[in-house]
Structure 1
Amino acid sequence: MPSKRRIRWAAVPVIAAAAAALAGCTPTELHGYMPGFDESGTPATNHTEQIASLWTGSWVILLIVGVITWGLMLWAMVVYRRRKGQTGLPVQLRYNMPIEIFFTSVPMILVIGLFAFSSRVQNDIEKPWADDEVDVHVTAIAKQWAWDFQYNDATTDGETVYSMGVQAKAAADGTLDRDELPTLVLPVDQKVTIDLTSRDVIHSFWIVDFLYKKDMYIGHDNSWSFIPTREGHYEGKCAELCGEYHSMMLFNVEVVSQSEYDAYIAGLEADGNVGDVNEEYNRLQNLTGTDGVVKESETEEGN
């Protein structure tokens, strides 16, 4: 039998090789190939790292449990298989209290542990900013099948401005012009609160790289507080089946510098998009499922 010293020396190159392999991984690979990370290593929001760690950690634990379980199953099938010449049933094991306690307590510990970690992360994500801490306050309004974004008290005079959205329109080859999609613009490294409201049915606000989504209900507004920490373009969509053109309910998210954000808000104000998005805009301003545009009289009838 090899001595303990030899075993330790044999483990050194294995550990070094594992460390070298992990060091060569990209941030995306280290987080289980989840979105929200790029080569810079900066996550998309202040919550992205925490969510990814919970997800990958849970899968690692479950994989370890699975490997142990599969190993025990295989061991039992090999060791206790019926051998040549054997007949009848093998010796039956009943009412073994230690085994029953083990197989009851271990799953309970795992479930309670996963719940505790998930609850802690969720509580951190769901904790809203205090009113005096919010830098950017946006209202995202969902409607079949597009998005409107209202920037509350965004101008220097404290006025509200907004942008109206229409649903995605697919070309004949199935491609989408994402430049025409509704766009939510946010400044980087600022505390953001987004109020989420629906005009018709249940929708779900999902920015893919932010690794989080929240449902939007009639009569019950949700909100979400976070800090976008990396400038760039992100894609958003409705994650709740909301009708015939649910798959076309897409939007863009642009995380930009503070100066670019201020210029965007000033542009909305200059275009006359000042005030609240009210019930006048309950329905889409384009023909559902087509690339046509509703006439003013048709829009009034739809309202």
Structure 2
Amino acid sequence: MAGPARATRPAKRRLLAAAATVLGTVLLTGCSSETTEQWKRLGLPEAASDRTEAVRSLWIGAWIAALIIGVAVWALILYVVVRYRKRNDEAPKQVRYNLPLEVLYTLAPFAIIGVLFFYTVEHGNQITRMSGTPQHTVNVVGQQWQWTFNYKEQVNGQEGVWETGTLDKPAELWLPVNESVHFDLTSPDVIHSFWVPSFYFKLDVIPGRTNKFEVTPTKTGTFAGKCAELCGLYHSRMIFSVKVVTRAEYDQHLKELADRGQTGAAVGGKDATTIPGHGEQEGGK
């Protein structure tokens, strides 16, 4: 009976291999083109700014380093398991120390940390650099629980226009494509975090402090934005959208804001504890 049983094992293996191949093919072909592209980016969203290449390079490089280290560690584990497996009841030779091994596993982590630190600082400097001569300036006010955007532009003879959102109607941030934008981030109440995933950039919005960054949108379209810091009751509703458009569309939008009377600057201070659009105090009934 052992002979026929052994003979069926190769057939079972071939059947399992064929089934795995078919299943893998079905799963891969079932992915949309967007999902396939995201797999290539290792989960990163669609890129839409000039800072994305530095972040993408650091992200992919970190995964490659982790893969190399993981393979090396597992290879060493498997080598030790096979090479020093128990062969008899004799106790293995006991040693007090192994100097080369101790030097290796002491210095290797420092070398890995040093390389990762170097590239993190190098890419971080690229991501946070500012030109000093941006083409546009936007003051972003993060408040409980929506966003206000102050465009520092001359529109219809007025200095600056603004727009804000509510819980029912999130704010829209309009930006011109391929033109540099300087952002000033302020908050009248608690810490928020300004995040546009497709820009590969996130920065905290801190009361009493103005954080700054600069970015150039490189692709037209509408992109999601959100608060990435737990900031209170309606944190999950503190979302906004970014519309990257042509310069003509951008200028037209600012003119429409001016025509509505939304000129000057809105800082969000006096209503900081009010739920926008609801007229209720936080924690009120």
Identify the TM-score tier after normalising by the shorter chain.
0.7 to 0.9
Within the candidate set 73, 78, 83, 1:69 is matched to 73
Q: Deviations along 1:105-136, whole A, 9 cap, x unmatched?
A: 22111111111111111111112231xx2111
Q: Tell me, yes or no, if structure 1 residue 49 matches structure 2 residue 35.
A: no
SS at match of 2:249: helix
SS at match of 2:103: helix
| Contact 2:182-2:214 at 8 Å conserved across structures | yes
| Contact 1:154-1:265 at 8 Å conserved across structures | no
CA gap 1:77/1:147 in 2 versus in 1, 3 angstroms: same
Please tell me the root mean square deviation across aligned C-alpha atoms, in Å. 2.2
SS at match of 1:236: strand
Q: Tell me, yes or no, if structure 1 residue 33 matches structure 2 residue 24.
A: no
Q: Which has the higher strand share?
A: 2
How many matched pairs? 247
The whole-number CA distance in structure 2 between the counterparts of 1:281 and 1:241 is 19
The whole-number CA distance in structure 1 between the counterparts of 2:154 and 2:77 is 62
The one-letter code sitting in structure 2 at the alignment partner of 1:164 is T
Within the candidate set 212, 225, 228, 2:214 is matched to 225
The whole-number CA distance in structure 2 between the counterparts of 1:230 and 1:107 is 40
Q: Name the residue aligned to 1:152.
A: 152
- 1:152 Cα shift? 1.1
TM-score by length of 2: 0.81
| Contact 1:204-1:240 at 8 Å conserved across structures | yes
CA gap 1:92/1:248 in 2 versus in 1, 3 angstroms: farther
CA gap 1:91/1:236 in 2 versus in 1, 3 angstroms: same
CA gap 1:183/1:154 in 2 versus in 1, 3 angstroms: farther
Gaps of 5+ in 1: 1-23, 37-42, 170-179, 288-293
Q: Name the residue aligned to 1:236.
A: 225
| Contact 2:184-2:210 at 8 Å conserved across structures | yes
Q: Name the residue aligned to 2:276.
A: 285
TM-score by length of 1: 0.76
SS at match of 1:141: strand
Gaps of 5+ in 2: 1-32
Within the candidate set 119, 128, 131, 1:129 is matched to 131
Equivalent residues in 2 for 1:161-172, closer than 5 Å: 161-167=161-167, 169=168
| Contact 1:136-1:154 at 8 Å conserved across structures | no
Q: Name the residue aligned to 1:86.
A: 89
Task: State the percentage of identical aligned residues.
Answer: 37
Within the candidate set 259, 274, 277, 2:248 is matched to 259
